[in-house]
Amino acid sequence: MAKILLIDDDPQVRAVLKGFLQIGRHQVLEAGNGVQAKKLLTDVQADLVITDIVMPESDGFEVIMSCARKDQPLKIIAITGGSPNLAQQTLLAIAQKMPVNKVLSKPVTCEELLTAVQDVLNAPTNASLPQST
């Protein structure tokens, strides 16, 4: 069981991902955007951050960069959906260049998500290194 911060601006998507994570018996904190997420992270210690990439306010890229700049970089899973302006493939390609442990593309299944979470939690902390999936 891990404490996971989940960041997505769409409450429905958040509800689904949270539900999946709870099936995996994880504790879930939620944030609707990057600003909220950063505020939460100053108060609580999370084992893992799962973030959407395209969001209003502060977007996923900012969250990722600020997490990576910390002394103890947080483990991050980025989840990308398509957006009207950017194709999903483009976003995936960009996300994979970011310092994240794993990139998933929307929609994810419960199994995909929980497997990715387990992999990342088991991995040594090296989120500051760019990785591909």
Partner 1 sequence: MLTETILIIDDEAFIRENVQRILNEDGYRVLEAATSTEALELVASDEIDLALLDLNLGVENGLDLLGALKEANPDLLVIIITGYGSVETAVDALKLGAFDYMKKPFKADALRVIVKLALQTQELKREVRGLRRSGALGLDVPLLGDSPCFRQVLDQVREVARIPTATVLVTGESGTGKELVARAIHSLSDRKEHPFVAVNCASIPTELMESELFGHEKGAFTGAASRKTGLFEEAHNGTIFLDEIGDMYASLQAKLLRVLQERTVRRVGGSKDLPVDLRVIAATNRDLRQRIQIGTFREDLFYRLNVVPLHLPPLRERGNDILLLAKHFLSHFSQAFGKSFKGIEPAAEQMLLGYPWPGNIRELRNIIERICIMAHGPLLEPAHLPPELHHHATGHSSTIAEDVLNQGLEINVANYEKQLVVAALEQADGNVVKAALILKIPRGTLRYKMEKYGL
Residues that bind partner 1 (CB under 8 A): 12-13, 15-16, 18-20, 23, 81-82, 84, 106-107, 109-111
In whole angstroms, the minimum distance from the beta carbon of 97 to partner 1 comes to: 24
Min separation Cβ 13 and partner 1, Å:
6
Which tokens is 26 given? Answer: 């994880």
Neighbours of 14 (CB within 10 A): 19
Minimum Å gap between C-beta 106 and partner 1 is 8
Name the residue nearer to partner 1 (CB basis): 80 or 101: 80
Minimum distance from CB of 12 to partner 1 (Å)? 6
Q: Which is nearer to partner 1, 107 or 130 (CB)?
A: 107
* Residue 11 backbone phi and psi in degrees, to 5: -60, -30
User: 68 or 114: whose CB is closer to partner 1?
Assistant: 114
Q: What are the tokens at 128?
A: 């500051």
User: By C-beta, is 1 or 44 nearer to partner 1?
Assistant: 1
Q: How far apart are CA 110 and CA 128, in angstroms?
A: 27
Distance CA 82, CA 126 (A): 27
CA distance 133 to 25: 24
